[in-house]
Structure 1
Amino acid sequence: MGKHASVLAFYITICCIAFVISKIIIAVLIYRRWKRKHLVFEHGFSGGKMVLFRAPVMQSLKSDVFLKKTLKLSNKDIIGSGGYGTVYKLTINETMAFAVKRLNRGSADRDRGFERELEAMGDIKHRNIVTLHGYYTAPHYNLLIYELVANGSLDGVLYGRSMTNKRLDWPSRYKIALGAARGISYLHHDCIPHIIHRDIKSSNILLDQNMEARVSDFGLATLMEPDKTHVSTLVAGTFGYLAPEYFDTGRATAKGDVYSFGVVLLELLTGKKPTDEAFVEEGTKLVTWVKGVVQDKREEYVLDSSLGCCPGDEINNAFSIALMCLEPEASKRPTMAEVVKMLEQIRSDKVIDT
């Protein structure tokens, strides 16, 4: 009996040791894989840590030069600002520059979540999503390092604040709407865990050198596990773009992003901001104004006058898609994958760049 007990104890010990060793090996392999994908630099003076995701564009950079230039950013480098951070232009040399967004730090728990979100963002490679090249964490602030997109934001071009002076005709606006929809759909349906953006608006849709839409600014992004339909968070976002249920529940959902996209689509069609002064004076808002006019079949009345002559059937279909996205009841809104399909069908008889 004693012999059997000692043999059993021996086997249990061996199994425990094997289990521990296997866990150590797995941890080492995961760490090595992480190291292959990241470059990590510590800065003793500032107490900060910079993490750069390995990519072809980053291979020619000297880590110390990149870090020093990042820490020397000043007010003269500011290219934009908003409620959640300031954006700087980081110039490395004559041919290379990045956009750096500075965010104030939150609690320790929130910062752990912040790094987890950014690790997921570093894996995202999509033609309609701005590439995140890395981040920097310091005791009092965080920096997000993005690619610099040539033509700035959609709202800057749409409302004449851009330096490019580009005019957006209907084919350009359609292309932007479809590109933005594809980018958001990718976040919702193809990323694991799924990602809710939470701050879809025209200033967070950037335009590259080909006027392709690139979804940007994940400072508010919330990761969603595949088996969850919502994430409860503090109410955050931008007035005029938030879904009505968000104010009541504080729940960030994919359908909330759909609503925000519907507002952006209305901006592209009407050329008006959701917080336009005219709406404030009349005690209404962009969504309510457009709904009333569309119900009366007078879409041409709200259409941006600078569009000139454009296909009426395409415009009417675009208005219909926008209003589906803006359904007051979240369950009645389409998914972003469905929105992409509907937008593609608008011009199915024409060439669509896929």
Structure 2
Amino acid sequence: MIFWRCFCCIYPEEHQEISENKSKDYPWDIYSLKELLLATNIFHQNNKIGEGAFGSVYWGRTSKGIEVIGNERKGRDGVAVEVEILGRVRHKNLLGLRGFYAGGDERLIVYDYMPNHSLITHLHGQLAEDCLLDWPRRMRIAIGSAEGLAYLHHEANPHIIHKDIKASNVLLDTEFEAKVADFGFAKLIPEGVTHLTTRVKGTLGYLALEYAMWGKVSESCDVYSFGILLLEIIGAKKPIEKLPDGVKRDNVQWVTPYVQKGAFNHIADPMLKGKFDRDQLKSAVMIAMRCTDGNPENQPSMICKAR
């Protein structure tokens, strides 16, 4: 069985000699298997910090002081797609490929380490109580995520559909700048093609109806997911929540009555304690509602939201 793993790392100012060899075909660092295994203590359970699309995510440190995160991959195809796509994208709001190891039955890919973790840890995880995401930071994260997606949809050639936009796939750097990550489910859309049909993969609550029901992949899939993400950023509610009577309610169902009443203040995360811009709040909620419109033809494009 072939295992794929991926890593994230931070480089100190003195660029060390982890990867002396660079192929002209690959402008990335080339790592040794030994160094990456040592960095993560051979993927020890104590180093595990989360889950990715294809496996568990680990943290570690190399002998040169580089911090690393690794994701133990359980499928060849997803990683091959991810490496291909990462080789194509260059944008400040997309998590870029740093390097890789390839040899024998192992394929290891390396990313920049994001010290402020993922958005989900701040909205629902261990950092939620600290409320490090004030309103300006939340809006910057939303705009940065939109700009990253706008690049994928409109500037990358061929265009790219991410297919798995969610809070855990938005990473945050030292300045809380958003980095859209995890391209294992992504699809390249050839020029002139409006949509593809594929097997449904993704996270419940973020999936557009046309994708969840029929596997139809288009830009609107990411637009819908972004709308759900935006509501999550604003209100810090999970995409789907279970009510006391056992009924499940999604974010759109939760927000809609408040929108109809014009009671936008009730949508904001209580942890903000009223410290948010009312006009921005209303605008952001209305953008999210347009993104999650049941008819894809009524949805805006990501490039409109990024602007």
Following TM superposition, the consecutive aligned residue runs of length 4 or more in structure 1 with deviations greater than 4 angstroms are 135-143
Within the alignment, does 1:227 sit opposite 2:192 as a pair? yes
How many Å apart are 1:157 and its aligned residue? Answer: 1.0
Within the alignment, does 1:167 sit opposite 2:136 as a pair? no
Percent identity over paired residues? 35
Within the alignment, does 1:253 sit opposite 2:218 as a pair? yes
User: Contact 2:100–2:107 at 8 Å: present in 1 too?
Assistant: yes
2:299 corresponds in structure 1 to 333
TM-score (ref. length: structure 2): 0.83
CA distance in 2, matches of 1:309, 1:62: 46
Match of 1:118 among 78, 83, 97: 83
How many Å apart are 1:144 and its aligned residue? Answer: 3.6
One-letter code aligned to 1:313: D
Deviations 1:56-113 (A, max 9, x none): xx4xx7646545537833323212125631111242136312322222125xxxx3x7
CA distance in 2, matches of 1:100, 1:164: 27
How many Å apart are 1:301 and its aligned residue? Answer: 1.9
1:4 corresponds in structure 2 to none
1:13 corresponds in structure 2 to none
Residues 88-237 of structure 1: matches in 2 within 5 Å?
88-93=58-63, 95-105=65-75, 111=77, 114-115=79-80, 117-135=82-100, 143-162=108-127, 165-237=130-202
Within the alignment, does 1:320 sit opposite 2:286 as a pair? yes
1:265 corresponds in structure 2 to 230
One-letter code aligned to 1:178: I
- Corresponding residue SS for 1:321: helix
1:35 corresponds in structure 2 to 23
- Corresponding residue SS for 1:93: coil
One-letter code aligned to 1:220: F
Higher relative contact order (CA 8 A, sep 6+): 2
Q: Which runs of 5+ in 1 are unaligned?
A: 1-33, 39-52, 342-354
- Corresponding residue SS for 1:195: strand
How many Å apart are 1:135 and its aligned residue? Answer: 4.5
User: Contact 1:122–1:134 at 8 Å: present in 2 too?
Assistant: no
| Structure 1 residues 166 and 95: CA distance shift in structure 2, 3 A | farther
CA distance in 2, matches of 1:232, 1:99: 33
- Corresponding residue SS for 2:58: strand
CA distance in 2, matches of 1:189, 1:144: 26
User: Contact 1:117–1:222 at 8 Å: present in 2 too?
Assistant: no
TM-score (ref. length: structure 1): 0.73
| Structure 1 residues 287 and 208: CA distance shift in structure 2, 3 A | same
CA distance in 2, matches of 1:135, 1:64: 9
Q: Which runs of 5+ in 2 are unaligned?
A: 1-21
CA distance in 1, matches of 2:148, 2:244: 30
The structure that is helix-richer by fraction is 1
Q: Which moved more, 1:63-72 or 1:117-126?
A: 63-72
Deviations 1:113-133 (A, max 9, x none): 753551231232211111122
2:48 corresponds in structure 1 to 78
Q: Over the residues paired in the alignment, what is the CA RMSD in angstroms?
A: 2.6
One-letter code aligned to 1:236: K
User: Contact 2:32–2:101 at 8 Å: present in 1 too?
Assistant: no
- Corresponding residue SS for 1:281: coil
CA distance in 2, matches of 1:241, 1:279: 22
| Structure 1 residues 77 and 138: CA distance shift in structure 2, 3 A | farther
Match of 1:286 among 247, 251, 274: 251
CA distance in 2, matches of 1:160, 1:292: 27
| Structure 1 residues 69 and 119: CA distance shift in structure 2, 3 A | farther
| Structure 1 residues 226 and 70: CA distance shift in structure 2, 3 A | farther
- Corresponding residue SS for 2:212: helix
CA distance in 2, matches of 1:66, 1:141: 13
